[in-house]
Structure 1
Amino acid sequence: MGNGNLLYVLRLGGVKILLLLLVSITGFTLLHLAPGDPLSQFTLAPGMTAERLAQIAHGMGLDQPLWRQYLHWLHGIMTGDWGRSFRDQSPVLGIIVSHLTATIELGLAALGISFSLGLGMGLMGALRAGRTVDDVTSVISIILFSLPTFWLGLVFIYIFSVRLQWFPTGNFSSPGDRSIVGYLRHLALPALTLGLVSVPVWSRYMRTFAGEILKQDQIRTARALGLSSGRIIVHRLLRGALLPMIPVAGIYLPTLLSGALVTETVFSWPGIGRLFLDSLQYRDYPVVMGVLMFSAILVLVSSTLAELLHHVADPRLRA
């Protein structure tokens, strides 16, 4: 690795660390300044006294100044101790990991739907620019982009679960049914909901990148040499259009995994999005901050790797 590449990596890593620190400070401050506190769940307990409430607050570290609470929490994050849940004293990192599998499975299924549909729509729009197909794909993208995720999920539940009874209304599995078919039936609607609202992301980028490549001299040269349309699309158009989508994927993929909060809530899917919402309702600060930081780290690491991969794959950037 040359000095220029090493400096690029160090500069990129330094920026990401500063962003992560800013996210932690902002999230920690806003969370603790929001109305309500974790002690509210203990105030209605039988026989609860002010002295006992003060002891609980001391045990949770809530009686310390906010800046001291933050430094204590930050030290734990840096040393691998993400704290313990206020609800059951379970390790925060273990709670996140236990919910991560469900979110990854949902995210990958939604990615398959959104990427395949978006890639096809964007490619058709670029190849038929200015024609009816291009207009239709653009309208479909605008509609999907405008649909609220929770509304689309509720519509799917009403049509396919309540009326047609093809799929379950939610949850990870049905009692007594651990089969693959049963699991896929539970996965279908949330994956379709999250995947459809994500189609415009891939469609518009693919439409833009493919449209730019179609205007290049290499495409006109390939056509003049008599290459078939299929070979031009696969070997020239797709390869060239997918390259600039690497940094897009690096940012979008972790966002898809960590941003499924609405979908997981509507379908009672036990992922980290649902965990974040439940913990926020109970003012479980360690778990909320743990999910927030886990998501931020995932986004920043993935985007950094995507930028580095793009830097390596594209000789123009290396130059």
Structure 2
Amino acid sequence: MLERLELEAFLVLAEELHFGRTAERLHVTTGRISQTIKKLERQVGAPLFERTSRAVRLTELGQRLRADLRPAYEQIGTGLEQAIIAARGITGTLKVGFSALWSGDLVVTAADLFRVRYPDCEVHIQEVQLGDPLGPLRAGELDLQLTEFPIDEPDITAGPVIFSEPRALMVPDRHPLARRETVSLEDLADVILLPMTGNIPDYWLDYHYPQRTPAGRPIPHGPPITYWQEVLSHIHVGKGVSVVAARGARYYARPGVAFVPFSDAPPIEYGLLWRKTGENTRIRAFIQIIHEIRRSVPREDEVRRHKSRMAGRRPPRPDEGRRPTS
């Protein structure tokens, strides 16, 4: 019979794939998590995780166990949350923000389900400008926000990553890079990168608009831009290039601008933010719905791995292996 800590430690570690973050989420020591997982593996009779000095991965048995345990655990959590909600009631107004349009799609979908479950609570949704990504949240204009990571601020709670997107480079369609299948981070040394400006943390800017390539070559920066639509106009007239989630090709497509996938850039991660002093039952209920929706959609990396396995079982089609343009 599983103890509660064994169940939670296994499922959280299966999500985080990091002992330190798992321990932090469960408010125990890293050693306690390690001991608990080892105990569970002895009980099962086989390893559930592959551990190296650089990474933690689920074994095939661990993946099956996660698939079997997760629904039951979520059902228990949902039942408890519903009981708490019924006892306290969820009323009032919840204000939710988003930055990227694809984040907005998820927020709107979650808000529709939230309104069905909690008809006595209103949900207001608004877009957050990248030039001031934390201002509305800090000012109390928003209760919750889905935005690009990293965010590391003392007054704001950054939840787990909800989803991630591969990166692409937006370039003028007449630029030589526009004819490439992919680009590299090293290519940024040969173009002018157009960064955002405003009330933005320096570490966020350094992550999304780096000053140097991985090899240490300086990356020329053009004039900073305040609003996203200006970026598209600057690229259209040949003032420079900019980095975007690859999905942006479907949302920001316009004449004169091409989207070229990166071959080596880390993905852009998106997560939920809320004020550390502002957490309440409305926020927790909305976060739960966000997680439910995301778990019902296959993760893109899992889809890619599945396609790769299937491709190995049959001869490739003539058009297979080409990188998508969006």
What is the TM-score normalised by the length of structure 2? 0.27
Larger strand proportion, structure 1 or 2?
Answer: 2
Larger helix proportion, structure 1 or 2?
Answer: 1
What is the TM-score normalised by the length of structure 1? 0.27
Instruction: Point out which structure has higher relative CO (alpha carbons under 8 A, 6+ apart).
Output: 1
Larger-gyration structure (1/2) = 1
